[in-house]
Chains A and B, each alone.
Chain A
Amino acid sequence: MPDSQPSGSFSTRPDAGGRRLRRVLLAVFALAVLLVLIAPLSTSDQADALGLPVLVDKSQIRILTTIAMFVVMATAWNLVGGLTGYGAFGNVAFFGLGAYACAVLVDPHKFHLPMLAGIALAPLVPIAFAVFVGLPLLRLRSHYFSIATLGTAVAVGEVVKNVEYLGGANGLFPPIVRRGDLLFLYLMVAAAAIAVGSVYLVLRSRFGYGLIAIRENEDAAAVLGVNTTLYKVAAFALAAGLTGLAGAVFAVWNSFINQELGFSLDFNIQMILMAVVGGAGTLFGPVLGAILLELLLQALAGQGTVAVYAQIGLGLLLAVTVIFVPRGLVDFFGGSSRLSLGYLRRTLRETSV
């Protein structure tokens, strides 16, 4: 039956299962928002003052903030890796540049801007960087592009580490914001909303259709009139800006940034893993992946050697996902492609008498 909608998302065609999943995701999202809204009444400080029971302690707020941060990064990666089909492997460079830019902007001895101004302006640095390196790098395809982006990210981290103005190996220390847990949770959730909202708009625009056409066949896209270079660089720059925004909030939240934190290879791999496990190319896949994997990582964290095995487990998880569920969990549980549960169920129903 032809789709009666005049437009729609290309990569997920919801059948009954898809709509159910969408409802579940929306319910989860609504619950998360509710939690964020009631959180002020339930942290220890405020709860003590008002005599209320403590519902969310500070460490849980920290975990929520971290989840929101990875939602931003996985969603931003999805623009390049999922929609455009270019396997970027160095997006952490944008995170680091955003974090350092923000740290410099709010530093009392450097630019001394207000915190919010610093966060708002910081993404311009990774955006400029993405345009500068994107023009040559996006001429490469498949694994050549992946390796080049990884190399670029590592190189930028090493350069930053050796610049005296950026604190060298010691890093930078943005001023500590007292009792800022909730503020940073709100800021990170706002960044996540901006990221998911951007991808939502992209998926419905000519820009998004062009990106998917590039992923599916770049030569065909070009002769149909897609300005492939412009589109690829624009997607790369948008991903850079969003990832840099997460980095900027992280820098002031953490009130410390150095090369190992800003250009962490763990972050680099985790954001890709989250997007791929959740469902690259879909709107909610990276969100789902970020929530599930970050909760898993938090559950395993701080248990000595378990954390080391967790790293190995993540690598295995990536391999298993790419081989068996290449379109991610969102498609597996809610989609209608040949790799989904819905398809399996339908096929079983149709073939059994």
Chain B
Amino acid sequence: MALLSLAHVNKRFGGVSALTDVGFQVEQGEILGLIGPNGAGKTTLLNCISGVFPLDGGSIHFAGQRISGLPPHRIARLGIGRTFQVVKPFLSMTVRENAAVGALFGASNLQPRQAFQAADDVLELVGMAAKSGNPVGSLTIPDRKRLEVARALATKPRLLLLDEVMAGLNAVEVDEALDMVRTVHQSGVTIVLIEHVMKVVVGLCQRVVVLNFGQPLAAGTPEEVLRDERVIEAYLGEKYAARVRRAGG
């Protein structure tokens, strides 16, 4: 049975259909990429899964339990962690305290003493142990993104939703972040990630789902999907797709 399964998910904002009839499944232990042009509805979909937005139709099941309709904190408690594309750190706290809040709540739900120990473990895992006493205000953007992952990870999720954790990073930082995601995955967490950096998508994901105008456009391995004409068309326009077709044929 799939860990996460979406069926006929619909979301509207006023007259705009942000998501139309989206359905796919995420298997236990895989890394699934969620790609698509800007405005395709990727982040909206993450918001729907984590309970930030209510659905206008369809259903989402996690580990056999229906989670659509539940508030965000209930979904977090069941074992879904997420990061935000625009990082949302607790600014007055240190790095360690940020991670500890994750460990106090979510699926881990620890008492303060144990939560700080769990926070140390998670910071070690994402490579931030040396900065654990720093105030968050002093962190660089890549470190803030790392912290965002650490905090989500501290909730002990079975499924982690990563929203563009590589965006804005330089080549070296992307490599570091790739290692971090691999480490997290090896610790037994199923991952769904939104990404624009194709190196990341190809390097990490076993399977990719492409969204376009709020609808699923294609799904498959990264290689299959990136060769798909409809995907090339959606990203680069019809003319470019035609050129690829001529060159290929």
On A, residues with C-beta under 8 Å from B are 1-3, 6-7, 10-11, 13, 204-206, 209-210, 212-213, 216-217, 219-229
B93 touches A216 (CB 8 A): yes
Having A10-B92, A224-B151, A225-B76, one finds 17 other A-B pairs with CB under 8 Å, namely A2-B132, A3-B94, A3-B96, A6-B116, A206-B115, A209-B104, A212-B92, A213-B90, A219-B84, A220-B90, A222-B52, A223-B82, A224-B81, A224-B101, A224-B102, A225-B105, A226-B73
B195 adjacent to chain A (CB < 8 Å): no
Q: Write the nearest CB–CB distance from A37 to chain B, whole angstroms.
A: 34
Contact of A2 among B52, B71, B96, B112 (CB under 8 A): B96
B61 adjacent to chain A (CB < 8 Å): no
Inter-chain residue pair count (beta carbon < 8 A): 96
- For residue A220, which residue of chain B has the nearest CB? B88
Bound-state CA distance A229–B133 (Å) is 30
Q: Write the nearest CB–CB distance from A234 to chain B, whole angstroms.
A: 14
Contacts of A228 in B (CB 8 A): 73
A210 touches B105 (CB 8 A): yes
Within 8 A of A (CB), among B45-95: 50-52, 71-73, 75-77, 81-82, 84, 88-94
Contacts of B101 in A (CB 8 A): 209-210, 213, 221, 224, 226
A209 touches B155 (CB 8 A): no
Size of interface on B: residues with Cβ below 8 Å to A: 40
Bound-state CA distance A137–B119 (Å) is 34
User: What are 17 contact pairs spanning A and B, CB under 8 A?
Assistant: A6-B117, A7-B116, A10-B93, A10-B97, A210-B101, A210-B104, A212-B92, A217-B88, A220-B90, A222-B73, A223-B51, A223-B81, A223-B82, A225-B106, A225-B107, A227-B71, A228-B73
Give 7 closest A-B pairs by Cβ, nearest first. A225-B105, A225-B76, A216-B90, A2-B133, A225-B106, A220-B88, A222-B72
- For residue A327, which residue of chain B has the nearest CB? B92
B43 adjacent to chain A (CB < 8 Å): no
A6 touches B151 (CB 8 A): no
- For residue B50, which residue of chain A has the nearest CB? A223
A223 touches B72 (CB 8 A): yes
Contact of B91 among A209, A216, A225 (CB under 8 A): A216
B92 touches A7 (CB 8 A): no
Contacts of A212 in B (CB 8 A): 90, 92-93
Most buried by A among B50, B72, B73, B94: B73
Most buried by A among B93, B104, B107, B109: B104
Q: Write the nearest CB–CB distance from B44 to chain A, whole angstroms.
A: 15
Bound-state CA distance A222–B104 (Å) is 13
Most buried by A among B52, B90, B96: B90
Contacts of B243 in A (CB 8 A): none
B88 touches A219 (CB 8 A): yes
Bound-state CA distance A206–B111 (Å) is 7
Bound-state CA distance A204–B113 (Å) is 10
Contacts of B71 in A (CB 8 A): 222, 227, 229
B152 adjacent to chain A (CB < 8 Å): yes
Contacts of A205 in B (CB 8 A): 112
Contacts of A222 in B (CB 8 A): 52, 71-73, 76
B192 adjacent to chain A (CB < 8 Å): no
Contacts of B92 in A (CB 8 A): 10-11, 212, 216
Q: Write the nearest CB–CB distance from A224 to chain B, whole angstroms.
A: 5
Most buried by B among A2, A3, A229: A2
Contact of B113 among A2, A6, A226 (CB under 8 A): A6
- For residue B80, which residue of chain A has the nearest CB? A223
B194 adjacent to chain A (CB < 8 Å): no
Q: Write the nearest CB–CB distance from A349 to chain B, whole angstroms.
A: 19
Contacts of A224 in B (CB 8 A): 73, 76, 81, 101-102, 105-106, 151-152, 155
Q: Write the nearest CB–CB distance from B240 to chain A, whole angstroms.
A: 38
